[in-house]
Structure 1
Amino acid sequence: MQFCDECGSMMKSMGSKMVCTNDDCQHTVAKDEEKAAEFVSTEEQGDSAVIETSEDANFEGKPTAKDVTCEECGHGEAWYTIKQTGAADEPPTRFFKCQECGHRWREYS
């Protein structure tokens, strides 16, 4: 990963140049081919990789867990979603929303 010397934002590869991702900066530098071999390019993160953590995130319609107990109200059912938040060799994280009171919590496997 390379960072812009002007503003500190990440830079992305565009042909023979590295371009700052900050729309206000757009600083460019020539690629250093020796360093370029050390970098790994990845695809942009899509919406499917975003973890639903905002208060208004819609969990309704997601799978239901009946083996959990809400710490807030004691209800025994919650909607959940599973996301890989760590490295690929680590277990995923389950995010819950109580069907009764709406309390949210996470569980690490």
Structure 2
Amino acid sequence: MRFCDECGSMMHTEGDTWVCHSCENEEPRDSQAEAVMETQDRQQDDGAPAVADATQGSTETVQESCPADDCDSDRAYYEMIPKPGGSYEVRLFTCVECDHKWRGS
């Protein structure tokens, strides 16, 4: 993939030339430079991120009703963790009685 030096848009190949469809800038293709470019097919998938344990190192609880059908507890541990790939945090709850885990709203 190559980006236009003039406007920053993604360029496309047309024969032996890179062409920008936004500003019509053209640049010759360089086979040696393209040989070192990596495609998404070669990128490594590191798998899903680790799930946090909301009870780890936490001693404080909050009043939050457990959504488990067979539990009447109204206390839970909670932890705020960054959402993977996002710009905000999510609140994870763990019931103090049955250890049921859920995400807060």
TM range (shorter): 0.3 to 0.5
TM-score by length of 1: 0.44
